[in-house]
Structures are given as C-alpha cells and as structure tokens.
Amino acid sequence: MLKQDLTALRRVTTRRVWTAAAVENAHHRVWAATGPWLGLARSRRDHTDSPAEQARWDAWISALTPPERSGTRSYADVCVLTGRARNMLRALRRTLPPCPSVGSVAAEIERRIQSGGLPPGVLADRDSLAKDLRVPGEHVDLALADLAACGLVEVSAGGWAVVTSMALGSGHHPGAHGRQAVTAGGAGAGAA
C-alpha cells in the first residue's frame, strides 16, 4: 500500500496545464495519499529518541495535514507539498523493517568518538557511518544533529560533520542534554 501511494504521488505533478481547479485537485490527491499514513508518522514522532528526528516528523505532519480552510494555492505549492509527501512516505518505508533508532545510532557514534575511533578533527563521514551501522543515511544525519547539540561534533552548512576537540571526556549523551538544546535552539529543524 505504501508503495502504491508513492507511485500515485509521482503522477500528481505531471499535468501540462495548471488551472486553479487542477491545483486544488492536486492538493487533495496528495492529502488522500498521505492521510492514511499520518497516524504512523505521529507514532514515529512520539516514539523517537532523537530531537532532530522528532522535528523532522513534526514538519512533515504539519505540512501534510489538510488545512481547515481552503486558500489560494499555486503550482509551486503543489510541488513543495508533493516533495514533502514523498519524503515522508519514503522515510516510513525505510523504517518499516526493524531498524535501530536514531538515538541508538547517536549513542554508537558517541561511543566511537569517546573510544578514539573518531578522534577530534576527523570528518564523521555520513555514508561510511551509515554503511558500518547498517542504517539509512538520514538516521546518521539526525544522530549527528543530536551530537552537534551536545558539542561532540560541529556540522557545517554543507552538512559535513567534524568531531570537536571537546568530544573526548565530555560524557554527553544526546538523549540527556540534546533534547533541550535542539528544541530550544532550533538546531533540529535544519537537519530534516
């Protein structure tokens, strides 16, 4: 069913002529494809141990919940909404099989930092970590955002993460301090 809804979303933006009625119809098609999955998305949000992942689910849920009032919409709005819908459904599809939580990924990266496996100044390579930990790259991105909130890594605007010199001996755990820092500082929203 999830795969069928992703396929249906692929067809939403294929029209050549976009009248106001076509734009409205496209919005309703996106909401129809994602509506049944919002409950699962809320469950993922409520059960995550990562502030960055929680912010990502919140953004998708907010964007894909139909508004109570109809407003003026454009073709660009359809494209943005469809992209968010695809991203949420893909994330749901990737997390359907048993997969380590973002918090456990962050804990493993922190363990590698504390043990010297990832020494200060070294690049925490997203793709290598995802492959080693056998998790989606998005889980690594979110875990690194949580670790950045603790000061264990610095994430550049380009998405590169470098282990900080403060990392050794810091004893921070993203579940303990990261939740407040990310929600208060807003760092979690950019990781999505």
Give per-residue pLDDT as tens, 119-133: 999 998 888 898 888
Residue identified by tokens 């106001």 is 20
Average pLDDT over residues 160-176: 64
As given in the structure block, the two tokens for residue 158 are 């380009």
User: What is the distance in angstroms between the CA of the first residue and the CA of the last residue of the chain?
Assistant: 25
Spatial CB neighbours of 166, under 8 Å, sequence gap ≥ 6: 120, 151, 152
Average pLDDT, the chain: 82
| 18 and 75 Cβ atoms separated by less than 8 Å | yes
The per-residue pLDDT for range 9-40, each reduced to its tens digit, is: 888 888 788 898 999 999 999 999 999 899 99
Q: Is residue 182 predicted with pLDDT exceeding 80?
A: no
Q: Is residue 71 predicted with pLDDT exceeding 60?
A: yes
